[in-house]
Amino acid sequence: MTAHHGATAEPVDVNDPKLTRFDIVKEGLRRDDIEIITYESQFQGPNSKAEKRVVRNISFLFLLSGLFALVFLVSYIVWPWKFELGHTLSDYYTPILGVSLGISLFVLGIAILAWAKKLLPHEVSIQQRHGDPSSDDERLITGQTAMYVADELGVARRPLLKGAIGLGLAPLGLAAAAPLVGGLIQNPHRDAEPMMYHTGFDPKTNGDKLVRLTRDDGTPIRPDDVSAGGQMTVYPGVPGGATNKFADSPTLLIHLRADDAEKTRVAADGDKNGRNKGSMWGNYVAYSKICTHAGCPASLYEQQTNRLLCPCHQSQFLITDNAQPIFGPATRRLPMLPLSVDDEGFFVATSDFKDTVGPDFWERP
């Protein structure tokens, strides 16, 4: 239909129960000096064959969006992914998540565009803007206009479309929530020997012998190799110790000055859970470099303040207090590696880390 409204028309009592919702909408347009140039359905009558065909197509798009969102959910929750070296089936886990969710969102966008372009009435209006405050009648008109727009979407009288939206958007809504709760679906410590409790410093990786601390080229380290106030990144002295096979093992070996070392030893020996007691050797202490917030390398050592900084999200850990977090998003301390020196004078780890290495949301501060 085509309609014209002017400011000179007689005002209408919007509280008149005889008025239809569209009558109230028209009155609101008149009061806002809006002229409808064109307002017409894109179909010849309701429930026409052409309209039903468009509804089926849009419903198919919503269902297709939901199907790919369901693929994302099933892959995210059910897929037995684990980190493995080499070319394995787990290599396809992340691509499948990205492709399925991407297609779901893309198809959803196409469905919304198709709805707006092919299903909604065609309207052209002209409005003169003004800044007067709204009266009670105008607020009522605004509410009725919003309800009329909802009616014009046609969901109520198109059950196929209503069902398709529900079935299509429900998996997508769950997909949006999945990353928030995904870490709670499976306990990473469920195995008899949880993967996240073991690094390359575990004696089992070295034939049940203590593992030496080595440089990235595999050469062992003596105490004299690290000057007072200095630090060095060390790796487990096992085959592949400095490779991705033991990506959770990089450790920062720090030679503290005497007074700082004493503070650190008192804090370690007084550790409330006892895990760090006796873990220092002389004035030397070693902490995991894997930040407990998001797994970045916490390797910026401030000698004067004895703070260890993570450059990714600015978490800071106090070396002299069991590497407790004192700033930033990290909530767990860095694990301390128990140190000693073997018969040849090289540093060794007397055991693996006693705290979980890296971000682990099943743990608490």
Provide CATH code, domain 203-349: 2.102.10.10
| pLDDT of res. 129 | 67
**pLDDT(1) > 50:** no
> Residue 262 to residues 149, 173, 283, 320: CA-CA distances in angstroms?
73, 54, 8, 9
Helix 159-181 with 49-78: angle, nearest 10 deg: 20
Structure confidence at residue 5 as a pLDDT band (50, 70, 90): very low
Pairing type for strands 284-288 and 34-40 reads unpaired
pLDDT (tens digit per residue) in 50-98: 888 888 999 999 999 999 999 998 888 888 777 666 788 888 888 999 9
pLDDT at 28: 79
DSSP letter at 257? Answer: -
Domain ranges of the chain: 41-127, 203-349
168-213 confidence digits (pLDDT tens):
777 777 777 777 676 666 666 666 666 667 899 999 999 999 999 9
Percent of the chain's residues with pLDDT above 90: 48
- Residues 17-45 pLDDT 10s: 888 877 788 787 777 778 777 778 888 87
Residue pair 25/148 in contact by the 8 Å Cβ criterion: yes
Secondary structure E strands in 70-224: 122-127, 211-214
Query: Is the dihedral angle over the CA atoms 349, 263, 324, 327 positive or is it negative?
Result: negative
The Cβ of residue 40 has, within 10 Å, a number of other Cβ atoms equal to: 12
Q: What is the pLDDT of residues 254-302, one digit of tens each?
A: 999 999 999 999 999 999 888 999 999 999 999 999 999 989 999 899 9
Q: What is the mean pLDDT of the chain?
A: 84
Give the range among 100-109, 163-172, 317-326 with minimum mean pLDDT: 163-172
**Residue range 319-354, pLDDT digits in tens:** 999 999 999 999 899 999 999 999 999 999 999 998
Rounded to a whole number of angstroms, the CA Rg of the chain reads: 33
Q: Which pair of tokens denotes residue 116? A: 């707006």
Using pLDDT thresholds of 50, 70 and 90, give the confidence band for residue 120: confident
Cβ contact 123:39 at 8 Å? yes
Rounded Cα–Cα distance for residues 359 and 361 (Å) = 6
Reply yes or no on whether the pLDDT at 7 is more than 60: no
φ, ψ of residue 325 to 5 degrees: the values are -70, 135
Contact 355, 336 (CB under 8 A): yes
Tokens in use for 199?
A: 């690094």
- Distance CA(299)–CA(155), nearest Å, equals 57
- Residue 249 to residue 289: CA distance in whole angstroms: 8
**Closest C-alpha to 200, from 25, 361, 357:** 357
